[in-house]
Amino acid sequence: MSSILQSPTTAPGRFGPYGGRYVPETLMVPLFELERAYEIAKSDASFQSQLQSLLKNFAGRPTPLQFASRLTAHLGGLAPTGSGPRIYLKREDLLHTGAHKINNAIGQGLLALKMGKPRIVAETGAGQHGVASATIAAHLGLECVVYMGTEDMARQALNVARMRLLGAQVVAVDSGSRTLKDAINEAMRDWVTNVRTTHYLLGSVLGAHPYPTMVRDFQSIIGREAREQILAAEKRLPTHLFACVGGGSNAIGLFHAFLHDADVKMVGIEAGGRGNALGEHAARLAAAQGYTGARPGVLQGTYTYVLQNSDGQIATTHSISAGLDYPAIGPEHAWLADQRRAKYSAVSDSAALDAARLLARIEGIIPALESAHAIAGLIERRAQFTRDDLVILNLSGRGDKDMDTYSRLL
């Protein structure tokens, strides 16, 4: 297959114009240190052996690629005269801790050891990255502090309890919107203060270089496995990839192995919230659907699409899903959108809830609210598929953490 993707600029940490390193001077040294450590680790046989061992024996990789027969039938893809696609689910929800976040946490936890940093700080929205960070910290003997907005702590109380049981200190953040953006702010303040002893275990493809590249690399095992598994199962590549997009680590983790396969369409699903107006959603790249407020800008160390008001102030966001409730998107996703290599759209809170109930009842899988957005995006496109289409959807996390929301609203 030919590639339709132009190469990004050769500057480290840049994806076209996006990315970069926009941080206070005090953080430049630890970022350079992290970049050097990661570059060495990539070719360090001992590091790679530890990483692969933990991914297999601690996290539980490889994850299955499950043929979703009843979802396929529901969307018209099994009958002899059916017009729908064949659908496979990449089951990241079956990993230890319940989501894809553990892939990156293991990699960065090992880097913290390599750099001689006995303490890690992390941010979390839905709580899954916080749980993954606390888990690997306990396993490796590191001190762990997790910053979490009080709004997210209220709707993700189970994950707060899990982090504390694992020995992490969970620090409540009551500033701003009291969600993921504010938790990142506080984690970065901690890092600035304690750079000599502390590694910031950032959870998504956000922030200053090398984080967007490094986190993508740790998550790209999702797409490498999926590519091998779909070729074994179907003897061909998929026609479509679907994933939810908050910061975007699970999506880029799936997409990366297929970027140069021009016939593989990639679809990222954002949080459409409860309306199109600024403050009612967290959709950065879905302007075609009427979602307002996103334009390029700098937030928390990187240049990307950011939801902001007419004065350039960072906008408040809303999503029923804590993991998608963030005003910016990973810089590589911004570049893929500009290149038209991936398409991004948004679905509403209510559509995500309906999709979660559907998957639970026809496949026996309760998805995380984040993953339910991807399912809803797939369902909303049912009329666009043909019987020759083959879909991989990244089921990035399980729904245990969202049962309070499901029980109240469903």
Residue-wise pLDDT for 329-385, tens only, equals 999 999 999 999 999 999 999 999 999 999 999 999 999 999 999 999 999 999 999
Buried b vs exposed e over 289-328: b needs ≥16 C-beta within 10 Å? eebbbbeebebbbbbbbbbbeeeeebbbbbbbbbbbbbbb
Last residue of a domain, one of 216, 237, 259: 216
Q: Across residues 107-122, what is the average pLDDT?
A: 98
pTM, entire model:
0.95
Segments forming the whole domain that contains residue 282: 62-97+220-409
Contact 77, 85 (CB under 8 A): yes
pLDDT of residue 310 exceeding 70, the answer is yes
Residues 260, 350: one domain?
Answer: yes
Would residue 1 count as lying in a domain? Answer: no
Residues 183, 330: one domain?
Answer: no
Residues 139, 172: one domain?
Answer: yes
Point out the least confidently predicted range of 12-16, 114-118, 264-268: 12-16
Would residue 8 count as lying in a domain? Answer: no
pLDDT of residue 1 exceeding 50, the answer is no
9 pLDDT band (50/70/90 cuts)? low
Residues 282, 314: one domain?
Answer: yes
Residues 210, 282: one domain?
Answer: no
Q: Other CB atoms closer than 10 Å to residue 136's CB: what's the count?
A: 30
Would residue 7 count as lying in a domain? Answer: no
Would residue 51 count as lying in a domain? Answer: yes
- Positions annotated as catalytic residues are 101, 123, 396
Residue 82 pLDDT: 73
Residue 10 pLDDT: 56
| Torsional sign, CA 327, 330, 333, 337 | positive
Would residue 5 count as lying in a domain? Answer: no
Mean of the per-residue pLDDT values of the chain: 95
Residues 41, 178: one domain?
Answer: yes
Residues 183, 278: one domain?
Answer: no
Residues 250, 272: one domain?
Answer: yes
Would residue 6 count as lying in a domain? Answer: no
Instruction: Encode pLDDT of 140-197 as tens digits.
Output: 999 999 999 999 999 889 999 999 999 999 999 998 888 888 999 999 999 999 999 9
Residues 75, 197: one domain?
Answer: no
Residues 334, 290: one domain?
Answer: yes
7 pLDDT band (50/70/90 cuts)? low
Instruction: Encode pLDDT of 27-85 as tens digits.
Output: 999 999 999 999 999 999 999 999 999 999 999 999 999 999 999 999 998 866 677 89
Last residue of a domain, one of 199, 216, 233: 216
Residues 74, 156: one domain?
Answer: no
* Paired residues of 171 in beta bridges: 147
Determine phi and psi for 289, rounding to 5 degrees. -90, 5
pLDDT of residue 2 exceeding 50, the answer is no
Residues 139, 234: one domain?
Answer: no
Cα–Cα distance, 133 to 208 (Å, whole number): 19
CATH number at residue 240: 3.40.50.1100
Total number of domains constituting the chain: 2
Last residue of a domain, one of 166, 183, 216: 216
Residue 255 tokens read as 């997409």
CB contact set of 154 (below 8 Å; sequence gap of 6+): none
Quote the Cα angle for 69-70-75, to 5°.
Answer: 100
Contact 300, 20 (CB under 8 A): no
